[in-house]
Structures are given as C-alpha cells and as structure tokens.
Structure 1
Amino acid sequence: MEKYILPIKKGVPVFFVFAFGYFLSTLLRATTAILSPVFTSEFNLQAGDLGLLAGGYFLGFGLMQIPLGYLLDKHGPKKIVSSFLIIAIVGVTSFALAKNFTGLVISRILIGVGVSACLMGPLTGYRIWFADNYQQRLNSWMLMIGSLGYLSSTLPIQLLLPIFGWRWIFGGLAFLTIICMLLIFLNIPSWENRGTEKIYEKKENLGSLSEVWKNKFFRSLIPIGIFNYGGMFAILTLWAGPWMIRVSGYSPLESATGLFWIHVTMLVAFFLWGYILPKLSNYGLSTIKLLKLGLPASLLVLFIIILLGPQAGAFHWGIYILSTIFLSLTQPAVALAFPTHLAGKAFTSFNLVLFIGIFTVQWGIGLIIDLVQTLGFSEIVGFQISFFIFLISSIFSYIYFILCNNKSS
C-alpha cells in the first residue's frame, strides 16, 4: 500500500481527534483503580472479583484485536473506530445503570470491545498518513495522551465522586464518547483517500495474518508483551492503587493523589521520549538495543518494591512505571517490521498479546492474593508473593527476548 502523507493542516486535527478518543479509552480503562474501594464496599467484592472486573475490559478489548486488524486494513480507521464507539456508548451507559457484579462485568466487556480500536485505529492510519520517521514520535505522543487519561481517572475522579457519585460520572463519560464519535466522523479522512488504488479487491493483496505470527521478531516480543508490558498496565490500571491502600496504608484520597502524580510523570516522560527518540536513532541506538539495555531497570525497581513491602508507596511505583518506558518502543517497532498493507494486522496482533497479558496478570494477581490469604498468611504477604511471581515471569520473558535477538543490535 502506498503512503498518502497528509498536509499539516489536515494532519494536526486528525491527531487531536484520535487523541481525544484514546484519552477516553484510557480514562475508562483506569477508573477501576480509583473506584475499587467503592465497588468493593457496594458490591462486596474480593480481590479476585476486583481483578475480574478490571480484567473484563481487557477481555473484551483482546477478543476484538484479530478481527479488528482485518477491518482496519480493509475499511480504515474512520469507519471502524466510529462504529465501535457505538458499542462503547452502550457499555458505559449499562455500567452506570448496573445493579449487580454480573452487570458490571458484562458492561466492562462491552466497553473494552467498544474502545478496542481507539489506539490501533489511529496507529494504522498514521502508518499511511504520516512519514516513517514520525511513527515512534506519534506513538509516544499517543501514549502521552493515554497518560493524560490515566491521570484524569485519579484525583479528578476522586474529587468528583462525592459530588456526583460513580454512576453519574459514567453517564458523563457516555456523553463524551458520543461527542468523540461525531468528531471522528467529521474530521478523519476516508480510507478511499489513502492514495492507493483498490488493492483490497484482490484477495492476495490482503496479506495473511500468519505472516505476522510467523515473524521471528514478532514472536520474540510475545512474552514481553504478555508479562512485562501487559503486567505494567495491569499494575498501572488496577493494582498500584490497592497496593497503596492495603499494603502501604494510604487513604483512598492519598492513593488517588499518588496515582495522579504517577500519571503526571508519565505524561511528561512520554512527551520528552517522543521528542528524543528520532535523535537516539541517529546515534545508532536501535529498538532492540534500547530494549536490551533499558528493561533490566524496571525489573530491579520491581524487586526493590517487593522487598520494601509496606514502605513502598507512590514514589516507588512512579519510578517503576517510569522505568518501563522502553516498552513503548515495541508497538511502532512491530508495525515498521511489516509492509504497510499489514499494518492493521501487525498492530492488532501485538495488541492482542498485550491485552491477554493485562487480563491474565490483573486477574491472576487477585487470585493469588486470595489464595495466599486462605492459606493463613496476611494480605500484605499475598501482595508480595503475587508480585514476586509476576517478577519471575517478566525476567524469563526478557531472557527469551535476548536469546531470540542475540545477533541483533
């Protein structure tokens, strides 16, 4: 597929409209971390239930990634993202009206399905509409917007909670999702204007999903995507909050404030990261080399947090999340490893890996915490054991990546 570079007057609105969609996606994703005490109290949830509730979003999200790749490559981001947001609107509305735990989980799955194209759709479009040397910058700046969504899910939600209640907050999010859908419909270019003939009329031009999954580099990233990257998001969007409350002894407001500053740090970091990445490439620092050198820092920080236990708070989790910034290189690296007609399938395949990891780690940590407590240990020990198992899995994933790319730099 040929590239069709947008002029700046069209490119800037395209970025900001898509950024608004991804902002809402991450805001909806992360609300469970702040609202976990409310849901735990109102619906009498255990740690495993909380993990399942948060993971429901990622289950719905992950289930759509493979079909989403085909849909994006064929129909483009405008049609697919706006259509999927209709499902998100239904999910957010039903979540606001849910009367029991089952209703919450089903609604979270629908939300996950509905916003599943809010990052992969834009990245697929960027692959065609923006030059290759801007791909990593665009990816980092989209993640910066995602950090703004996470940030908005912390202290702002906590402050709005006693005023409006969580149900009206979700009602407001449903309204914003409707606005986003309309903006996409009005501002995003049609896929027919991508500067290429109708290559999809011939089946052989569609590209095969097996081309992605058989790729050596892609397969080397699967364990990292599941445990290191997926686990980081599992902590960021759920377990950092409960750790601060149940292990470190924070109040809900203190936990929300801690998460707020963690996300402020990430927002600034992603902005600067997007700016300096092209310069690092000019110095010969490839994605593989940066991952090899950078990932061990996050593993060391996580080990220190586990050892500190109750002494580890928002500052330590902020350092951990910041040290995982190298993982953001994986998505643009996957896309650039394939031709443009496979961009959607490459992005969504790796996203499937990522969200399988988030769901598995998010739910798994909760189940292990409950299991350890049933064996007579304290909740704090349960947190430490579950996070230690996650750490070991991340270490082996990193070793696998090194072995698969030992001749690459």
Structure 2
Amino acid sequence: MSVLGRRAAVWVFLPFAAAYFLAALLRAVTATLAPTLAEAFTLGAADLGLLSGGYFLGFAFTQLPLGRWLDRYGPRQVLLAFLGVAVLGCGVFALATGFSSLLVGRMLFGAGVSACLMAPLTGYRRWYSPAAQLRANAWMLMTGSLGMVASTLPVQWLLPVLGWRALFWGIAALVLLSGAWIALAVPSWNRPRQEATVLLEANDTAGYSVVWRHPYFRRLAPLGFFTYGGMVAMQTLWAGPWMQRVAHYSELEAATGLFWINVSMLCTFWAWGLLGPWMARHAIDVNRVIARGLPFSLCVMLGLLLLGPQAGSAVWALYCVSCTVMALSLPAVAAAFDANAAGRALSAYNLVVFGGVFVLQWGIGLAVDGFIAAGLDVLGAFRAALGMYLACNLLAWLWFLRKPARP
C-alpha cells in the first residue's frame, strides 16, 4: 500500500486519535475514582490494584490474536469489532453491584480498547513514511495523555453532577461515535497477492516465533515490562494513593496533582513528536537515546523514595516525564520487523508492556498491604514496595546495555 498524502494522513490520524483518547481515559480513570469506589464497595489497596490492573489483564489477553488479526484483516475491521467489546464493558461497569462485576466490566473494556494503539501503529507502518511514523506515534501518545488529563479534574468535577455510573454510560456513547468515524475515514486493508502466504502463517501462534526469537525484542522486553509498564502503572494508579496516603493530599488535591502529571506527559509527547522527524533525518539511534535517558528516571524514583511525604505531584510528574523516552521503543520495534509482521511485533511488545502494568499495579498493592501487615507504617510500606520496583528497573536497564544493539 502506498504512502498517504499529507491531507489523507491527517484524516486517518484523527479518528484513531479520538478512539485512543477514550482508551486512555478508561485506563486512567480508576486513579480518580479510587476513593469513591473504595468507599462504595469497601476496597483495600490490593483490591484497588487488582481492579485497576484488570484493565491491563483484559488488554493482555487479546494481544496475541490481535496481532494476527491486524496483519490479516487490517486496522479498520479489527478496531471496529474491538470497540464493540469496549462499549459492553462500560455498560457492565456502570451496572456493577459489587467488586466482581466491577472487575469484569474493567477487563471487558480493557480488552475492547486494546487495539486502539496497535491498530493505528500497524497502519502507520504501511501508510506513513518513517519520519511521519515517529511523529504520529508520539502524537498518539500525546492524545493518550490528553485522555488521562480528562480522567483527572474533569472527572472529579463531573462526579457530583452525574455520578460515576452515568459517566460510564457517556463514555460508552463516545466510543460508539469514534467507531463510526473510523468506519468512514480509515482505508481498507488491500493486500498484494504475494503477501497471502506470509499472512496465512499469522493465523497460527507459531507465527509469533519470529518475534519471540528476535534478539532486539529480547533485549527490549525487560525494559518494556518494568520501565514502560511501570510508568503506566504509576501514572494510572499508584501516584494517586501515594499523594493521598503518604503526602497527605486531599481527594481534590490528588486529582489536581494527577491533572498536572498528565499535562506534563502531554507536553512531553508533543515535544517527542516534533523531535522524531529530526531524529529520523539525522539517523540518530533511538536505542542510544533510550540507554542514556533512562538513568535519569532511576535517579528521580530514588529521590522520591528519599523525600517521602515531601514528594508530591511535581516529583511524580518528573518521574513519568523521565520515562517517556520509552515511547521511542514502539516505532523501533515496528521498524525492526518486516511490514507484514508489524502487527504481531507491536502486539507482542504491547503484551509485555501491559503484562508489566498488571503485575506492577496488583503486585505493588499486595506489597504495600503485606508490609503494613508485617508492622511497617504507610510510608515504610510504600518505600519498601517502590524500592523493589526501582531495583527491577535498574536490572532491566543493565540487561538492555549488555545485549548487542542490533541482531
């Protein structure tokens, strides 16, 4: 398929961005709703971690078939089917009467929006030039940050007016509208005949062996799990409880802090979008940028642990921003594979990332509860849990450094 012109590329980008905005809103809204849901359903830290991680569990379950379907059927058809599941999940969540139904609803809409980034990135691999891919990838993530911004103060303002149940019915309606826009704007997946044999292999799980065995994928996977996944886990859940329970923010102050964290992420991804084409023109190795940029995030997390109650939203914003260098890993993964395998490569990497989000969100909740049960105070429990997380990030970075840069 030929590279799209500028106007056509923008027309394709916008509906994809609208769907990803809603996906990010659904991903992050638990951090804002955590106090409301904890009070309504008597949830502890581990329950909140599991509930928030349920989104990523549903997300992870779909990634392997999603990659095969994207390579075979294309972004438009696959994403439209998945968005129907997201609407169902929003309905189940809105009607929930207990923790189990909340979890099922969150898993369903997590699965339903799991194609909202991988589908466009698969399409961009064919429809956009390499420089445009870097920009589109960064600006998709910027749109996601905008969705996370919307999940903070705007949601906090709407809660007394609408209630959280009506909020989810509204999101379901918006998901339906974004699907209609995608159906109108996104081109079909017309494949040349010579691709048929390759794509038939993608119907079998063995079609992923080319991904799992790839040296670059293995080099990047631990960073994807702990650092990229950890950034999302902190941004969408644990930054909020830290601000409330450790830094003693009120609910509104915590929502305001999350708002500014997500605004800072939005601005950073916008900047990466501007920088991406320049990096492509000057043949700058993104692996070197990742390797040199990540130590700063390790230092910020260490500083956060040392500051304790003095570490508020500004420190969390600095940590999340320092991790955004990992956004470069998505186009790098796509570029490391043939265009016919891009859907599988991206989905496999996404499985690693969001598997990390689920494990870290739930695992940190379990660790905090466990350390409190062992006799530590709240500050000590959070420090111990996040200290373990920091150690895992350090080991993943060292693994990335010791592996060869290219296959």
For 1:370 and 1:393, locate their aligned partners in 2 and report how far apart those are by CA, in whole Å: 20
1:229 corresponds in structure 2 to 228
1:174-201 C-alpha deviation (Å, 9 max, x unpaired): 1101111111111111112x5x336225
1:199 corresponds in structure 2 to 195
2:25 corresponds in structure 1 to 27
Which blocks of at least 5 consecutive residues in structure 2 are unaligned?
A: none
2:98 corresponds in structure 1 to 100
Query: SS state of the match for residue 306, structure 1?
Result: helix
The answer to whether structure 1 residue 121 and structure 2 residue 119 are counterparts is: yes
Q: 1:41 to 1:342 in 2, by over 3 A?
A: same
For 2:104 and 2:207, locate their aligned partners in 1 and report how far apart those are by CA, in whole Å: 32
For 2:144 and 2:319, locate their aligned partners in 1 and report how far apart those are by CA, in whole Å: 17
For 1:14 and 1:231, locate their aligned partners in 2 and report how far apart those are by CA, in whole Å: 30
1:55-114 C-alpha deviation (Å, 9 max, x unpaired): 000000001000000000000011000011111000001101100000000111101110
1:40 corresponds in structure 2 to 38
Give the CA deviation at 1:205.
6.5
Q: 1:42 to 1:190 in 2, by over 3 A?
A: same
Give the CA deviation at 1:222.
0.9
Query: SS state of the match for residue 3, structure 2?
Result: coil
Give the CA deviation at 1:219.
0.4
For 2:197 and 2:7, locate their aligned partners in 1 and report how far apart those are by CA, in whole Å: 31
Which consecutive segments of 4 or more residues in structure 1 shift more than 6 A? none
Query: SS state of the match for residue 275, structure 1?
Result: helix
Give the CA deviation at 1:378.
1.0
Give the CA deviation at 1:245.
0.5
Is the contact made by 1:126 and 1:135 (CA closer than 8 Å) also made in structure 2? Answer: yes
For 2:210 and 2:237, locate their aligned partners in 1 and report how far apart those are by CA, in whole Å: 34
For 1:134 and 1:13, locate their aligned partners in 2 and report how far apart those are by CA, in whole Å: 14
> 256-265 vs 52-61, which deviates more?
256-265
Is the contact made by 2:64 and 2:347 (CA closer than 8 Å) also made in structure 1? Answer: yes
Aligned length: 404
> What aligned pairs does 1:382-397 form with structure 2 within 5 A after superposition?
382-397=381-396
Give the CA deviation at 1:153.
0.2
Sequence identity, in percent?
A: 46
> What aligned pairs does 1:151-300 form with structure 2 within 5 A after superposition?
151-192=149-190, 196-197=192-193, 199-200=195-196, 206=202, 208-300=207-299
1:201-240 C-alpha deviation (Å, 9 max, x unpaired): 5666659311111010110111101101101100001000
The answer to whether structure 1 residue 357 and structure 2 residue 352 are counterparts is: no
For 1:276 and 1:7, locate their aligned partners in 2 and report how far apart those are by CA, in whole Å: 21
1:10 corresponds in structure 2 to 8
1:128-180 C-alpha deviation (Å, 9 max, x unpaired): 11112211111101000000000000000001111111111111001101111
Is the contact made by 1:226 and 1:355 (CA closer than 8 Å) also made in structure 2? Answer: yes
Query: SS state of the match for residue 324, structure 1?
Result: helix
Is the contact made by 2:71 and 2:199 (CA closer than 8 Å) also made in structure 1? Answer: no
Query: SS state of the match for residue 187, structure 2?
Result: coil
| CA RMSD across the alignment | 1.5
TM-score normalised to the size of structure 1?
Answer: 0.96
> What aligned pairs does 1:366-385 form with structure 2 within 5 A after superposition?
366-385=365-384
For 1:129 and 1:282, locate their aligned partners in 2 and report how far apart those are by CA, in whole Å: 19
Is the contact made by 2:215 and 2:406 (CA closer than 8 Å) also made in structure 1? Answer: no
